[in-house]
Structure 1
Amino acid sequence: MNNHRIYMDNCVTTPLAPEVLEAMKPYFLEKFWFPGTFISTGEETNAALAEFKEIIAKALHSLPEEIHFTSGGTLANNIALKGLMGANANKGRHIIVSLVDYPDLLTNAAYFEKQGFEVSYLEPDSEGWVSADKLKEAIRPDTILFMSTIVNHVVGTIQPMEDYKKVIEAADHKIFWHADAGQAFGKMHLDVQDLGVDTLSVSAHKIHGPQGIGALFVKKGTKLSQLIHGVTRVDQLQTGGLSIALIAGFAKAVEMTFNDLDANISYLRELSDYLLGKLESTIPDIELNGPRGDKRVCHNINVSISYIEGESITMMLDLNGITVATGSACASQGLKPNYVLMAMGKNHVQSHGSMKFTLSRYNTKEEIDYTVEKLAEITATLRERSPLYQAIHNKER
């Protein structure tokens, strides 16, 4: 099993599907042209782009003209949020976001505060779930924007989007709503018409597509101010050049994922349930972070292993050819405990000892068996060296 790397950090990025690479090759080597009119090369690219938009629009149940290509999910978030605020700042100065939202949303919230907006930060419960009641309580007459992350990137909690929609629609004035769907796209059914959002971002490299390309849904009639200025080659919202090859790869990844989405979801759910069962039955003093069952996305398992540091576990797993993530302070941005786990009420020890396993369709139960076996060995070794574990263990004896 250790002859190849076992990759279980698919929350960050996923391996490129071989079929996606093949779909991109013609646009790297032969059909590298930008779209245009009157000449065959430009018109052929126009037709290809229209087809690619159709594929992504179908996956989101949107109109093709509501899909805009961007160079990734982060830029899609920035174009949407800054575009919404730039076009509608005269309508209100209050924004709502949660403490457990994706960093793109939280850093934009901090930016807006510096621009004179007021921001309300909603608190989650112990499972990372942010209730619609908290949203309703936070709405003011000058609320202009609500930002939300459909699936939490740390613990996999699925937020109550249907309940949010009811609250937003019941408000006595227009509140724009942006959703980050980076961890939801390809892991659950998404219908932008049912969701009721004004804008929504997705990324190709989370579903075995290429890095460096994403898409932004903008509901028909929604106005955004221009964030990026320059010549329009592919999309009017992100001016300048965008790789046609990457867009082709994105469309192929979407096609493969959504060809039988239920089967993909079912396989990932089976794998994650199997992983959690193996972890809990093999390693003592282990705690699941986030909810069980349907309130959790199908590919995410986050656990805290008591008495030891996640950073040490991660490095020792890496030496065994296994890639996972940790919430340990030394492994996180800013050298702080994971902010999502802390907002959920976890303490520093639980955050430092957290491990996140995010699975893809290329993972297998055989890989899980090997990973848990090595993790159990590493846990036992590190606990033998842990003064905290030894003190508690000896006291219990």
Structure 2
Amino acid sequence: MQAGRIYLDNCVTTCPAPEVLAEMQPYWEKKFWFPGTFISTGESTNSLINKAQNTIAETLEASAQEIHFTSGGTLANNIAIKGLANAYKQQGKHIIVSVVDYPDLLTNAAYLEKNGFEVTYLSADSEGFISLEELKSAIRKDTILFMTTAVNHTVGTIQPFAEIKAILESADHKIYYHLDAGQGYGKIPLKVNELGIDTMSISAHKIHGPQGIGALYQRTGTKLAQLIHGVKRVDNLQTGGLSIALIAGFAKAVELTFRDFQANTAYLRELSNYLLDRIEKEIPYVELNGPRGEKRAPHNINVSIDFIEGEAITMMLDQKGITVATGSACASEGLKANYVLMAMGKTHIQSHGSMKFTVSRYTTKAELDETVQALAEITQELRNRSPLYLAMTKEK
């Protein structure tokens, strides 16, 4: 078995593009210098960082000085959420998030609750969209922060940005808006002024960049209380050292992703539609989790397969060199029911039978054909051992 021969867990991480690896190599070997002034080595690194900031900023219609490099999306989320909460706590201590948001947001919300803040948790509907009516009702005089996930990490639901922006702007005071765009950046258009957001996190390794580097967008004029203290090497928000090679690789990944953004995302949509169509034709008793069509991210297909456990399917596919996920990669440890699916009204059985397939620009239809064939064979094998399935077929 060749591990990861067919890799369909691209929501967790993606393979670095060959061009990214080539771009980083000189910074590992020769151009390893930190930024500085008056000397050529430091100025060279300054130039690289400025160019990388500009490359990312252009994709968001932001300015370069609004882009801060971090060691990943999770740290970007922490810097933004704790930074906003503590910077504006004199104006209020009420925060709004939803029950289907990414663990980064929910764990930060729990931390803030333990430290004197009050959090309102919005519910979600059967497709994973947060309740806009609850958002309207939740806003109070002391609400200072709303945060959400651009693309749901489990089912790919794209939240209704225009409606959210309108609700927040209809309040009689400023409510700061943080967006976790780890699953959305490079998959859907994200223009910061159109969205009306104040901070947004992104990650390189979700778009065929290197692991260990991310970025935080911080709107000009938005304050963040300092989270990490120390000497400034690369950025004033994450002090200390950051890998210059990883920043170079991040910028190259962004360049490649947005070189023909529409064609890239159209290909992802074509692949995921093809995969879903094949699964629904080849395997009975399958239900799509989340919305169909343009309201879900182009790379994500999540289905519940009745009568069997997703963990068993995942392991059996892995033995064939096919990597997929069951439920959420951030919540499936310990065989617990996926919290996003449960919040959407799914049963424990549907949650445990859920499978998530996420494609990339390197995925081929031939790989999807092989995956569906293997999935169909494994599904039938496991169902033949399932008392529930056997009982149902006997009744028919």
Same fold (TM over 0.5): yes
- Name the aligned partner's letter for residue 386 of structure 1: S
For 2:295, the equivalent position in structure 1 comes to: 295
Instruction: Find the aligned partners of 1:204 and 1:241 in 2 and give their Cα distance.
Output: 17
CA distance in structure 1 between the partners assigned to 2:94 and 2:49 by the alignment? 38
Q: Counterpart of 2:148 in 1: which secondary structure?
A: strand
Pairing 1:139–2:135 present: no
Q: Residue in 2 aligned with 1:66? A: 66
User: Map of 1:92-241 to 2, 5 A cutoff?
Assistant: 92-241=92-241
Report the AA paired with residue 284 of structure 2. Answer: P
- State the distance in 2 between where 1:107 and 1:244 align: 30
Shift of 1:107: 0.3
Residues 310 and 328 of structure 1 are in contact (CA less than 8 Å); yes or no, is this contact kept in structure 2? no
CA distance in 2, matches of 1:329, 1:224: 30
Look up the equivalent residue of 1:55 and give its one-letter code.
Answer: T
Match of 1:222, SS state, is: coil
- Post-superposition CA distance 1:340-394 (Å, at most 9, x none): 0000000000000000000000001000000000000000000001111111111
Tell me if 1:40 matches 2:40: yes
- State the one-letter code of the partner of 2:230: G
CA-to-partner distance for each residue in 1:322-349, whole Å, 9 max, x for gaps? 0000029998135420000000000000
Change (3 A) 1:331 1:88: closer
Amino acid at match of 1:357: F
**2:35 pairs with 1:23:** no
The CA deviation at 1:4 is 7.0
Output the CA distance in 1 between the equivalents of 2:244 and 2:314. 37
Shift of 1:212: 0.2
- The AA in structure 2 aligned to 1:119 is V
Give runs of aligned pairs for residues 378-389 of structure 1, distance below 5 A.
Answer: 378-389=378-389
RMSD, aligned CA: 1.5
Q: Deviations over 1:63-118 (max 9, x none)?
A: 00000000000000000001111111111111100000000000000001101111
Which string of whole-angstrom CA distances, capped at 9 and with x for unpartnered residues, describes residues 231-252 of structure 1? 0000000000000000000000
**Counterparts of 1:338 and 1:5 in 2: how far apart (Å)?**
26
Normalization by structure 2: what TM-score?
0.98
Q: Which moved more, 1:334-343 or 1:33-42?
A: 334-343
Q: How many residues align?
A: 396
- Give the 3 Å change call, closer, same or farther, for CA 146–3 of structure 1 in structure 2: closer
Q: CA deviation at 1:168?
A: 0.7
What amino acid maps onto 1:327 in structure 2?
G
CA distance in 2, matches of 1:386, 1:22: 50
Does the aligned pair in 1 maintain the 2:72–2:215 contact within 8 Å? yes
Would the aligned equivalents of 2:3 and 2:322 in 1 still touch at CA under 8 Å?
no
- Is 1:75 aligned to 2:92, yes or no? no
- 24 and 284 in structure 1: CA distance in 2 versus 1, 3 angstrom threshold: same
Instruction: Give 1:129's aligned amino acid.
Output: F
Please state whether the residue corresponding to 2:59 is helix, strand or coil.
helix
Task: Please report how far the alpha carbon of residue 151 of structure 1 lies from its aligned counterpart in structure 2 after TM superposition.
Answer: 0.4
Correspondence 1:329-368 to 2 at 5 A: 332-368=332-368
**Unpaired runs of at least 5, structure 2:** none
Runs of 4+ in structure 1 deviating by more than 6 angstroms, as ranges, are 1-4, 328-331
1:56 aligns with 2:51: no
Q: Partner residue of 2:263?
A: 263
TM-score by length of 1: 0.98
